[in-house]
Amino acid sequence: MTTTIALAGKGGVGKTTVAGMIIRYLIETQPGAILAIDADPSSNLNMVLGLELSWTVGDIRENILAEVKKSLTATGAAMGTLPGGVTKREYLDYEIRSALAEGERFDLIAMGRSEGPGCYCAVNHNLREIVDAISRNYRYVVIDNEAGLEHLSRRTTRDVEYLLVVSDPSQRGLVAAQRIGAFRHELNINIGECYLILNRLPDGRIPPAIQRFIDEKLDFPLLGVIPQDDTITEFDFSGRPLVEMPTDSPVYRAVADMMQRLLAN
């Protein structure tokens, strides 16, 4: 069985860092392979994980539409064949599997840039089915989303067992978390449990005003807090992958504690 963990939150609150720490925890403590899906167009989860990224699903999508325009005069871009008798579904499947960046016990797919002008619905349908088929081969799937959840149901038809909404200790971050939490009920996929993660707490303590907001405005509970850690800045500046942070790092220990409690349930 595959367990899917999705992260969401306002841009800049540290979703990708948290995703990287979750992947590290799963590698170190859980059996089975992990698939990381970078669904943020900025595509920097690979830097956190220490992987080279050759191309993205967005690049593949644009390439096949370019081939379609050159090889077909009929409208529509999902079915039919490319030169050499290769179907578009076969081409997409091969290219996506080739685009997997491989780590130790985990692989990474980056979704890349969003759609440009043109017809994408049919191609996106095939892409989603292929990514879902690949995901079934992994014990865990961790999806690092863009700022909101608007595109999550376009990326996967899989159920999401855990939605982790990340916020920093700011009003804008918490309001975004509130909106994301409300929007989860409108998606075309099933979401099991939803939790808030508070990131970059200066002393690891929740100010009273933020606690009141959580208690009164959110319909999902707080999973835990992550303290501010200057080591993150040092790693970012030097270009070192964050997954190489010491095991006693306050950030990693906080995420590991949350994941241990989450998966124990």
Strand 160-167 and strand 3-8: the pairing is parallel
CA distance 108 to 94: 15
3-54+99-118+140-264 under CATH 3.40.50.300, yes or no:
yes
Specify the residue for token string 């006693």: 248
Q: One-letter amino acid identity for 45?
A: L
Coil/strand/helix, residue 60: helix
Measured CA to CA in angstroms, residue 256 lies from 125, 194, 222 at distances of 35, 17, 15
Q: Where are the chain's structural domains?
A: 3-54+99-118+140-264
Strand 222-227 and strand 140-145: the pairing is unpaired
pLDDT, position 157 = 64
Cβ atoms of residues 215 and 21 within 8 Å: no
**∠174-141-50 over CA atoms, to 5°?**
85
pLDDT, position 106 = 96
Q: What is the pLDDT along the chain (265 residues), one digit of tens a residue?
A: 899 999 999 989 999 999 999 999 999 999 999 999 998 877 689 999 999 888 888 888 877 777 766 665 444 444 455 656 677 788 888 888 888 999 989 999 988 766 555 555 666 777 788 888 899 999 999 999 877 776 676 666 678 999 999 999 999 999 999 999 998 888 878 899 999 999 999 988 899 999 999 999 999 999 999 999 989 989 988 889 999 999 999 999 999 999 999 999 7
pLDDT, position 76 = 46
pLDDT, position 115 = 59
What is the dihedral sign for C-alpha 17, 191, 33, 145? negative
Q: Record the tokens describing residue 89, joined without a space.
A: 């579904």
pLDDT, position 152 = 72
pLDDT, position 33 = 97
pLDDT, position 154 = 65
